Amino acid sequence: MIADKKNKGVFFMAYPLLNKLYYQDQSRYAQVYQDRFQSEDTVKLDFSIGDRQAFFVQTGDLWRRGFQILRLNGQVTALSSALPLIARRQYSRKCLIDEIMLTNRIEGVHSSRKEIDWKGSRPSGASASVLSVW
């Protein structure tokens, strides 16, 4: 290991990506793949990519990033809880509309924000709990 300020004093050896190894050196790819797949730090997923079981290796970098996410999530939660309720509701509504717009675009459905935004009214048949962010 080599000292490096960016990584808090520790520099880890490069972690070669499997997709790059696949095209650079097939025999090395096969060995690295097996080593990673059989590692005790490997999490095997219940689906396949092509003809191989999907997996990921919980590297030190992955753990550090996970902890960073948890720390940032705590900060965001603290900041958002300080906002007035109406601001939180408006933000939630905007996020929901953005997600619907994105999903509609993916599915080939053409809709406008105005069509999606019910202007605070509840669609007929929708319960209040379903639209509690409104």
Q: Which helix (H) or strand (E) holds 52?
A: strand 52-57
68-104 per-position pLDDT tens digit: 999 999 999 999 999 999 999 999 999 999 999 999 9
103-112 per-position pLDDT tens digit: 999 999 988 8
pTM: 0.47
Quote the CA–CA distance of 36 and 62 in Å, as a whole number: 15
- Count helices and strands (H / E) in the chain: 5, 2
- What are 25's two structure tokens? 């050196």
